């Protein structure tokens, strides 16, 4: 049996940047075991399998696999899959498209707005299906720093301190003092295990205010070796959690706040994530993730 597949680069407007994604179409008859084998074969941070939706008004059901396991939600698979389905199926008017793509995921139903304009890469955004919430504590700063191959004075800036936040996945968020320090961060052997693996987190998200671009608010990296991702070029689901820390530590007033998050530069795959936070009556009420994507390849998968 041959199944159509596509690859896209997500959170970028240039091919061979951003976070690569594989999308396998017509996957209704595939077992979970076979999907996991295919994801391992693609060996990307995530592979999506598109299935028939359970409701007529929905666009598709999708299952997401890392090379090691299935996950209920992820940002760049959501953006990339929605953009692809809109590109393939939505009607164009005067060469432009605007589409609402409704995706059934393990975390629930996610509605994605996709926009296509001549001369620019497709752009899509969605409201996070779950708001970020604090989800546990991390070891002392010296242990956290050792896990990343840093010294304790390089962990933390202003009032930001290491915390765990969850919004579908639980990540350890580690603020780092400088761009130079974040470039040196790494998975540091047994020190990593002591600092993070005992906490049960999906990954470790390291961030700093020092950035490559003046219009970026944060420069970040994300390591998740325990799920088969040594480092991720762009992590939308973790950016949702970052919104929780920004709200907690930066004291945002009521209103809509936009931030650009840059990631993947140390990997040679620069990515830009559009992060929007809505605060009302002092509470974080909406987190929105957006980004561009470009189609790179397509083919037939023999299964």
Looking only at the bridges linking them, the beta strands covering 255-263 and 218-224 are parallel
- 123 vs 110: CA distance, rounded Å: 16
**pLDDT for position 137:** 85
CB 49 within 8 A of CB 62: yes
List the one residue out of 15, 65, 31 whose CA is nearest residue 45: 65
pLDDT band at 288 (very low <50, low <70, confident <90, very high): very high
Q: Which domains does the chain have, with CATH numbers?
A: 2-126+292-302 (3.10.310.10), 133-289 (3.10.310.10)
Task: Kindly report, residue by residue over 53-63, the tens digit of the pLDDT.
Answer: 999 999 999 99
Active site residues: 46
pLDDT at position 251, please?
Answer: 94
Distance between CA atoms of residues 59 and 52, nearest Å: 8
CA distances, 285 to each of 72, 85, 111, 243, 281 (Å)? 22, 28, 16, 11, 9
Which pLDDT value is given to residue 23?
98
In the predicted model, is pLDDT for residue 94 greater than 80? no
Q: With 80 as the cut, is the pLDDT of residue 212 above it?
A: yes
pLDDT band at 92 (very low <50, low <70, confident <90, very high): confident
**Stated length of the chain:** 303
Please state the pTM of the whole predicted model.
Answer: 0.95
For the stretch 77-91, pLDDT in tens is 999 999 999 999 988
């Amino acid at each position: 049996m041959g199944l159509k597949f596509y690859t896209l680069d997500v959170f970028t407007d240039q091919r061979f940047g951003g976070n690569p994604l594989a999308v396998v179409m017509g996957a209704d008859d595939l077992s979970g075991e076979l999907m996991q084998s295919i994801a391992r074969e693609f060996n990307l941070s995530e592979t999506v399998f598109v299935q028939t939706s359970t409701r007529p008004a929905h666009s598709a059901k999708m299952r997401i696999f890392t090379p090691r396991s299935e996950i209920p939600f992820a940002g760049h698979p959501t953006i990339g899959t929605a953009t692809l389905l809109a590109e393939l199926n939505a009607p164009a008017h005067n060469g432009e498209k605007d589409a609402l793509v409704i995706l059934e995921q393990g975390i629930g139903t996610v509605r994605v707005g996709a926009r296509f304009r001549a001369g620019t890469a497709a752009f899509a955004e969605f409201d996070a299906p779950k708001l970020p919430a604090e989800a546990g504590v991390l070891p002392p700063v010296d242990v956290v720093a050792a896990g990343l191959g840093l010294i304790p004075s390089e962990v933390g800036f202003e009032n930001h301190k290491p915390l765990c936040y969850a919004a579908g996945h639980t990540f350890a968020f580690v603020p780092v003092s400088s761009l130079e320090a974040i470039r040196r961060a790494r998975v540091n052997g047994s020190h990593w295990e002591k600092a993070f693996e005992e906490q049960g987190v999906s990954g470790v998200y390291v961030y700093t205010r020092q950035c490559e671009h003046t219009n970026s608010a944060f420069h970040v990296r994300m390591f998740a070796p325990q799920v088969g991702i040594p480092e991720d070029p762009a992590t939308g689901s973790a950016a949702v959690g970052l919104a929780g820390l920004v709200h907690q530590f930066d004291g945002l007033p009521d209103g809509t706040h936009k931030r650009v998050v840059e990631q993947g530069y140390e990997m040679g795959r620069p990515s830009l994530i559009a992060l929007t936070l809505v605060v009302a009556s002092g509470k974080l009420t909406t987190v929105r993730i957006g980004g561009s994507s470009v189609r790179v390849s397509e083919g037939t998968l023999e299964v």
